[in-house]
Amino acid sequence: MTARRTTPRRTRTTALAAAVALAGGALLLACAPTPPGHGPARIADSLAELLEAELALDDLSDLERDVLQRAVDTGRIEQADYDEAMARYLRCMADAGFEVDARQLLNGLYQLTHERPDGADDPGYTLEYLETGDACATGTTRRIEAFFTLQQANPDLLADPYEVAVRCLTAARLVDGRLTARRLERLVDRGLAGVPFDVMSLEAQTCFHGAGLAVAVGAPASPAS
């Protein structure tokens, strides 16, 4: 089985890329190299630190502000809050004429797909879809999903998406403890050919999606954007 680079299906920033680019650069979390012996690089010391910085911005929607403030107060983003943000995003897309399928993964995140209608292969359709997705994510899923993804899939706030994926794959017993982040990166570059698990299984997709890696059957995969 191999993996393919997925075509753009949505513009909601996901996983680690989202956390690094939150609020259009307001939280540019470029990580300095971690000194030897201090463990893997992290994007921040705590999720609370990221949440509080985001709440200081003045362009949050009422939904975003309510959810993020509640997360600061309680220490976590609730599944119900993420579900509500996703429901609003999907409703917005449907109202614009784009039906998006949402599959819930084992960590509570949603993996979204959109099937092009017949005759919609022109670049104009793709551009319209991407622009609509960006507009629908604004004020609904963009920030909330980014934080929920960190909470559910990367609680250690690791900066390396391949390290995030390796830890998840190991915990799910899809690989043994010998797989390293750099080895996984090389495997991804080669389309994950010959890996000892089903790339498209719910368990594997939970790990890859949570790490921000778009992986599907067909050709080499790459970090989602």
**Are 184 and 162 spatial neighbours (Cβ–Cβ below 8 Å)?**
yes
pTM score: 0.81
Confidence of residue 38 (pLDDT cuts 50, 70, 90): low
Confidence of residue 193 (pLDDT cuts 50, 70, 90): confident
Looking at the DSSP bridge assignments, the partners of residue 223 are 213
Percent of the chain with pLDDT over 70: 77
Q: Is the pLDDT of residue 217 over 70?
A: no
Tens digit of pLDDT for each residue in 149-191?
999 999 999 999 999 999 999 999 999 989 999 999 999 998 8
Selected residue with higher pLDDT from 86 and 4: 86
CA distances from 74 to 67, 69, 70 (A): 10, 9, 6
HSE-CB of 89 using CA atoms within 13 angstroms: 29
Which are the contacts of 159, defined by CB distance < 8 A and separation ≥ 6?
16, 29, 31, 40, 41, 42, 43
**Are 114 and 101 spatial neighbours (Cβ–Cβ below 8 Å)?**
yes
Tokens (6 digits) for 56: 């200081």
**Are 2 and 221 spatial neighbours (Cβ–Cβ below 8 Å)?**
no
Of 9-18, 58-67, 123-132, where does mean pLDDT reach its minimum?
A: 9-18
Name the DSSP class of 31.
Answer: P
> Cα–Cα distance between 3 and 211 in angstroms, integer?
16
